[in-house]
Amino acid sequence: MSGEAVWPIITDADEARDTILKRRSLRDYAVPENVIERSLDLFGERLMPDEAVRRIIRSVRLTGDQALIEWNQKIDGTRTDSLLVTRAELEAALRDISPELRSALEFAAERIRAFHRKQPLSSWIDAGDSGSLGQLIRPVDSVGVYVPGGSAPLPSSLLMSVIPAQVAGVAEIIVCTPPGSGAGDIHPTILAAAAIAGVEKVVRVGGAQAIAAMAYGTESVPRVATIVGAGNLFVTLAKQQVYGDVGIDGILGPTETMVIADETADPQLAAADLLAQAEHDELASAILLTPSPDFAALVQAEIQRQLERLARRDIILSAIAKGCGTVITADLNQAFELANEFAAEHLCLLVEDPWSWIGKVRNAGGVFLGEHSYEVLGDYVAGPSHVMPTGGTARFASPLNLLNFVKITSLIGLDKGSAADLSAPAQRLAQAESLDAHAAAAQLRSRN
């Protein structure tokens, strides 16, 4: 590749805040004209995506499997004889993949399971002389897992979502993933991953219709308590619209990596890590923060060089044009300040003694410490779920973990004497809120 460098370098922090570090709400993204035009084919009129999703959800609520089959045909061009994948099909997919791929999937599954088994999660009861207080922690009854089926199959996403739910004790887990176009079918690596994870029910359906099916139930898809998994714009909008009728893991947008590096880092490795993130899709974000202009120039040159041999170069170039680049910071302290403002999904510390900087990190989905803890390992085999908060939601959200699959029930078991002691202040608070029936209930206990 020759000519002008494709990887931008920004030398002013305020300029960076107004450009590649500027967060936008999902509601603020401009909808491509071709997406709106597509609605004309599907609905007979031009619709914004949120309205299209609303209509899809309503059709699934009203007609169940019939709507799923029709949307498979209209949106994916798929003629589906059966929505449900059989156990024989799962086993066949597992037999058909290479032994090396099967071994890698099984290895990843073991590490994911081992990691999540270490998460503390237990009920507790504090029993005293006056009674008991505590919390019951119970798994939700059922979980729906959405696995994307776009330009690259993502069996790792199935493992990263299903296995934490299993460790949490969820009894029923349903996977929805889009069928292939035309007479095609689900990618065999996704089916093989489902077999390795022990998934009993896989459904050939994608998009907003899959989210609706799991939220409200159809003849083939049972209604679930919680839905997890990332997807395209229509999947994300559908999760927003069904939330409240069903739980969700979060609003998961395009993936993102932020790398903080100093002059001791290897520019070849930093470039490789940034490109690995940028190849996900055109909206992926890969950003380098460094106080070293010399290092920034070396990484820029490496990106130019490594791009030549990458098959998804066009996707990477689109991502770079939309929101990737390097920011030169005054020092590492400013780099961490910008990183906390951005609240990246992945924060990679390619600095000398990365552990000494952990105290500076407040907002990040996952922190990758040093060049040997590169983010691609987190995508596949490190252990923690790679389903992490995006779009700045790491300011308040967490990676997918066991708490996504359990609910907490408070226990209150007081004896008569304790109730009497607590009744007077309870009565006063109820009266302050003008809730006479509350006050009366407390007063009765006080008299008794």
- The CATH number that applies at residue 96 is 3.40.50.1980
Could you tell me if residue 274 is inside a domain?
Answer: yes
Could you tell me if residue 3 is inside a domain?
Answer: no
- Residues 362, 261 share a domain: yes
pLDDT value, residue 29: 66
Helix residue spans in 365-409 (DSSP H): 375-380
Residue 267 class from Cβ within 10 Å (0-12 exposed, 13-18 middle, 19+ buried)?
A: buried
Euclidean distance between CA atoms 430 and 2, whole angstroms: 75
Q: What residues have CB less than 8 Å from 14, skipping those under 6 apart?
A: none
Q: Please report which confidence band the pLDDT of residue 150 belongs to, taking 50, 70 and 90 as the band edges.
A: low
Do 68 and 179 meet the contact criterion of CB atoms below 8 Å apart?
A: no
- Residues 187, 43 share a domain: yes
Token pair 């934490």 is at which residue? 164
Could you tell me if residue 1 is inside a domain?
Answer: no
Quick: pLDDT tens for 313-343.
999 999 999 889 999 999 999 999 999 999 9
Q: Please report which confidence band the pLDDT of residue 425 belongs to, taking 50, 70 and 90 as the band edges.
A: very high
- Residues 419, 376 share a domain: no
- Residues 141, 49 share a domain: yes
Mean pLDDT of 213-235: 95
- How many domains in the chain? 3
| 372 classed as catalytic | no
Domain residues for the domain of 432 are 415-447
- Residues 102, 178 share a domain: yes
pLDDT value, residue 1: 42
Long-range contacts of 51-58 (CB under 8 A, 24+ apart): 52/208, 52/234, 53/208, 53/234, 53/237, 53/238, 53/241, 54/241, 56/207, 56/208, 56/209, 56/212, 56/234, 56/238, 57/208, 57/209, 57/211, 57/212, 57/215, 57/216, 57/238, 57/241, 57/242
Do 245 and 211 meet the contact criterion of CB atoms below 8 Å apart?
A: no
Bridge partners for 328 per DSSP: 290
- Residues 117, 161 share a domain: yes
Q: Please report which confidence band the pLDDT of residue 281 belongs to, taking 50, 70 and 90 as the band edges.
A: confident
Could you tell me if residue 294 is inside a domain?
Answer: yes
Judging by DSSP bridges, how do beta strands 325-328 and 9-10 pair with one another?
Answer: parallel
Q: Please report which confidence band the pLDDT of residue 26 belongs to, taking 50, 70 and 90 as the band edges.
A: low
Report whether pLDDT(86) > 90: yes
Look at phi and psi of residue 55 and say left if phi exceeds 0, alpha if psi is from -120 to 50, else beta: alpha
Euclidean distance between CA atoms 198 and 178, whole angstroms: 19
Catalytic hit among 345, 371, 375, 386: 345
Could you tell me if residue 163 is inside a domain?
Answer: yes
- Residues 236, 260 share a domain: no
pLDDT value, residue 253: 84
Catalytic hit among 116, 187, 280, 346: 346
pLDDT value, residue 5: 67
Q: Which of 363, 430, 388, 347 is nearest to 160 (CA)?
A: 388
pLDDT value, residue 192: 97
Euclidean distance between CA atoms 335 and 178, whole angstroms: 40
- Residues 150, 75 share a domain: yes
Report whether pLDDT(35) > 90: no
Tell me the average pLDDT of the chain.
Answer: 93
- Residues 335, 284 share a domain: yes
Do 198 and 173 meet the contact criterion of CB atoms below 8 Å apart?
A: no
- Residues 375, 324 share a domain: yes
- Residues 365, 332 share a domain: yes
Residue with more model confidence, 345 or 32: 345
Mean pLDDT of 256-285: 95
Quick: pLDDT tens for 165-221.
999 999 999 999 998 755 568 999 999 999 999 999 999 999 999 999 999 999 999
pLDDT value, residue 36: 81
- Residues 199, 54 share a domain: yes
| 100 classed as catalytic | no
Could you tell me if residue 2 is inside a domain?
Answer: no
Report whether pLDDT(420) > 60: yes
